[in-house]
């Protein structure tokens, strides 16, 4: 029970600070997800499938290690994420989770592992040097084809190894999982 004007303001602030109810999203059709996966550099294609098929966030996809992809149990164990090229704990205990996955995601992981060796700490996704991917270097520089209607902010640079598509506003993994139907009218 709030007692006094300061406590009332704090309680009122808490009521307004609560998160709104989650809006149900409409997932992108499989063809749209496939088009995004085809547009990104092959080395990072698995991240699109991890985002679309398992709902992983960018740091979680980049921090996924081979032992955390449990093929026989058909699940991914998410307990850490990539931050500043380091595996870091998730921000909250509630973020740690076990995600059941289907053949589509498992096949994408298998194909990726057949093509590229795991990196340090058994990281699934690495840059061209076999090192951890730096999250903040993502952009559209590693698209096979430019995003329609979008120009690159700067030319591709060899020193920037990773810039996959989900920094582009129209092709983010969040858009894959939370796409809203377009209003017609």
How is the chain split among helix, strand and coil, in percent rounded to 5? Answer: 40, 15, 45
Domain contains 62:
yes
Residue 129: CATH number of its domain:
1.10.443.10
Q: How many domains does the chain have?
A: 1
Domain contains 132:
yes
Domain contains 12:
no
For residue 123, what are the domain limits?
25-145+159-168
Express each pLDDT in 132-184 by its tens digit: 998 665 555 555 555 555 555 544 443 333 334 444 444 444 444 444 444 44
Express each pLDDT in 63-122 by its tens digit: 999 999 999 999 999 999 999 889 999 999 999 999 999 999 999 999 999 999 999 999
Domain contains 13:
no
Express each pLDDT in 61-74 by its tens digit: 999 999 999 999 99
- For residues 76 and 69, is the Cβ–Cβ distance under 8 A? yes
- Rounded Cα distance between 98 and 95, Å, is 10
The answer to whether the pTM exceeds 0.85 is: no
């Amino acid at each position: 029970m709030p007692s006094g004007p300061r406590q009332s303001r704090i309680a009122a602030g808490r009521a307004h600070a609560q998160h709104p109810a989650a809006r149900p999203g409409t997932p992108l059709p499989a063809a749209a997800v496939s088009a995004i996966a085809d547009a990104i550099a092959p080395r990072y294609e698995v991240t699109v499938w991890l985002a679309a098929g398992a709902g992983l966030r960018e740091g979680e996809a980049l921090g996924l290690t081979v032992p955390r992809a449990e093929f026989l149990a058909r699940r991914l164990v998410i307990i850490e994420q990539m931050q500043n090229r380091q595996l870091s704990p998730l921000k909250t205990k509630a973020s740690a989770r076990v995600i059941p996955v289907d053949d589509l995601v498992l096949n994408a992981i298998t194909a990726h592992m057949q093509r590229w060796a795991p990196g340090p700490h058994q990281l699934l996704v690495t840059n061209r040097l076999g090192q951890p991917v730096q999250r903040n270097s993502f952009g559209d520089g590693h698209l096979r084809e430019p995003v329609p209607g979008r120009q690159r902010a700067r030319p591709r640079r060899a020193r920037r190894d990773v810039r996959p598509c989900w920094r582009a506003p129209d092709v983010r993994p969040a858009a894959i999982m939370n796409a809203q139907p377009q209003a017609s009218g």
